[in-house]
Amino acid sequence: MHSPLAGLKDPDDRRLPRIAPPCGLVIFGITGDLARKKLVPAIYDLANRGLLSPAFALTGFARRDWSTQDFEDYIRTSIEKHTRTGFNERTWNQLRAGLRFVSGTFDDPAAYGRLAETVAELDKSRGTGGNHAFYLSIPPSWFPEVCEQLAATGLNQRHGNEFRRVIIEKPFGHNLESAIELSKVVSRVFDEDDVFRIDHYLGKETVQNIMAMRFSNTMFEPLWKANYVDHIQITMAEDIGIGTRAGYYDGIGAARDVIQNHLLQLLALTAMEEPVRFTQEAIRAEKEKVLSAVRLGEDLSATTVFGQYTSGSQGGTQVRGFLEEDSIPADSVTDTYAAIKLFVDTRRWAGVPFYLRAGKRLAKRVTEIAVVFKRAAHVPFENSEVTESGQNVLVIRVQPDEGMTIKFGAKVPGTEMQIRDVTMDFGYGHAFTEDSPEAYERLILDALVGSAPLFPHQREVELSWQILDPILEHWASAGRPDPYRPGSWGPASSQEMLARDGRSWRLP
């Protein structure tokens, strides 16, 4: 039926682009890798897509003794090198007019005084309207100092409808206790509703598609349960080593770096019940239920594996082992590979194992969720005629080649009843002409708009540490990590973990 309202523009119309209100973003750690490669280009790409207000301002805060010109050159180079949408002089000029740089150390009160003056000046000259977000792209050991300095200068104080928000990068602690400590510090200065914790996986289109796929269709959800699912594998494999990140990575390792956040978030989205609404409260509530229902195996030496890459050849190039990487102590026991088997104790998932694995220097870069279904209870063909028929699998490819694949058995053409596995593929690149925005574009925009569904709540962070802490403690007393060759799929012990259950890791 044709709606009488068709064609009228409703302010809540979801097809209208959401545009950030006039505001300023202050980045602490603007000279770091993350800011240079991801944050600055994402801000520019948002501006290029018309999603920032003309009154937007970007302030960098760092130790360097830069002039305004130095700062502009730095920002411009970062954009030219990493923009997704292409360099455009008009967008650049508009952005440039709102660039400011404050030089100072994170514990220098005078520098915060200059920051407060800059923010006030931007409100006047640029029209940022008292709305400011502070992005802490810095080691968490600095969070307390920066938050306290912001409070001491009154930069966390908003008036009327203005906003003052803080955006924080992981790691949110290194265990449950430190995560709680960190949160106390932040919450002394900012209200929980004004704290935006970044888990950049939640900004990825394919991760949001897990919810779209599950909750906007009828054909998947009836099968999405213990009655039909044999097990689920969640893989985040990277082919790179730790590069220049030794300072961050050593002592952190794969489990803290990506399982505590990205993989457990993927698990929560895969296993959760349908939220009653697409609001932050409703989505967080369902994710929290999943994380609270997680149960680890009783014998962690049989249900978890931690590994470390050795030197060897990867893709024809000789690469160093983790212990030979720059600045890594020769006796480091940091896990560059981690695999965990766990259960979600709910009626929907009773008895279904979830296998999570993540690692550096693996065979290739791929992140995927594979839902492996039970075998058919009865097949009315002679066994000898059923060739190569495995189990039905639904794979959600988070990256690269974003999309979905369903594997099922089909008859091989010919006079015999031969069955073979075939696949049905959906590729983002084929189905949509538009490129997916970068995760940071989405998340920075959401933080500026004040929309929190894609940001984990502190409770999720704590529940995730609660899952991981016993494993980390177990590994700390378990000796050395198991070695694995670069370009492999991890230590042999990881394959054995699944083999003991009569299963095997997929070769993505």
Alpha carbon distance, N-terminus to C-terminus of the chain:
46
For the CB of residue 301, give the shortest distance to ligand BG6 in the complex, in Å.
26
For the CB of residue 398, give the shortest distance to ligand BG6 in the complex, in Å.
8
For the CB of residue 242, give the shortest distance to ligand BG6 in the complex, in Å.
8
Structure-token pair, residue 107: 């514990």
- Smaller CB distance to ligand BG6: residue 304 or 367? 367
Count CB-CB contacts under 10 A for residue 254. Answer: 26
Q: Which residue is nearest to ligand BG6 (CB)?
A: 257
For the CB of residue 258, give the shortest distance to ligand BG6 in the complex, in Å.
6
**Strands ordered across the beta sheet of 195-198:** 99-103, 57-62, 24-28, 132-136, 164-169, 195-198
Decide if 262 is catalytic. yes
> Which residue is associated with the tokens 């006796």?
331
Count Cα neighbours of 429 within 13 Å in the Cβ-side half-sphere. 6
> Which residue is associated with the tokens 């890798």?
33
Contacts with 259 (C-beta within 8 Å, 6 or more apart), sequence order: 338, 340, 356, 358, 468
Contacts with 90 (C-beta within 8 Å, 6 or more apart), sequence order: none
User: Could you give the string, one character per residue 118-157, with x where binding to ligand BG6 holds by CB under 6 A and - elsewhere?
Assistant: ----------------------------------------
- Smaller CB distance to ligand BG6: residue 146 or 242? 242
Stated as kind and residue range, the H or E segment containing 476 is helix 458-476
Alpha helices in 264-303 (DSSP H): 264-271, 280-292, 300-303
Count Cα neighbours of 76 within 13 Å in the Cβ-side half-sphere. 15
For the CB of residue 116, give the shortest distance to ligand BG6 in the complex, in Å.
32
- Smaller CB distance to ligand BG6: residue 42 or 111? 42
Residues paired with 212 in a beta bridge:
none
- Contacts (CB under 6 A) with ligand BG6, residues 197-256: 238
- Smaller CB distance to ligand BG6: residue 270 or 367? 367
Among 257, 288, 446, 482, binds ligand BG6 (CB under 6 A): 257
- Smaller CB distance to ligand BG6: residue 45 or 257? 257
- Smaller CB distance to ligand BG6: residue 352 or 472? 472
Residue in 132, 262, 430, 457 annotated catalytic: 262
- Contacts (CB under 6 A) with ligand BG6, residues 367-396: 367
- Contacts (CB under 6 A) with ligand BG6, residues 340-369: 367
Q: ∠ at Cα 468 (462, 470), nearest 5°?
A: 115
Q: Rounded CA gap, 488 and 490, in Å?
A: 6
- Smaller CB distance to ligand BG6: residue 40 or 150? 40
For the CB of residue 169, give the shortest distance to ligand BG6 in the complex, in Å.
9
Own/partner pairs, 183-192, CB within 8 angstroms, 24+ separation: 183/458, 183/461, 183/462, 185/143, 185/144, 185/147, 185/148, 186/143, 186/147, 188/147, 188/151, 189/147, 189/148, 189/150, 189/151, 189/156, 190/147, 190/156, 190/164, 190/165, 190/166, 192/457, 192/458
Q: Is 258 in the site for ligand BG6 (CB under 6 A)?
A: yes
Q: Judged by CB under 6 A, how many residues of this single chain contact ligand BG6? A: 4
For the CB of residue 257, give the shortest distance to ligand BG6 in the complex, in Å.
5
Pick the closest to residue 369 from 484, 142, 213 (CA basis). 213
Q: List residues near ligand BG6 by CB under 6 A.
A: 238, 257-258, 367
Active site residues: 262
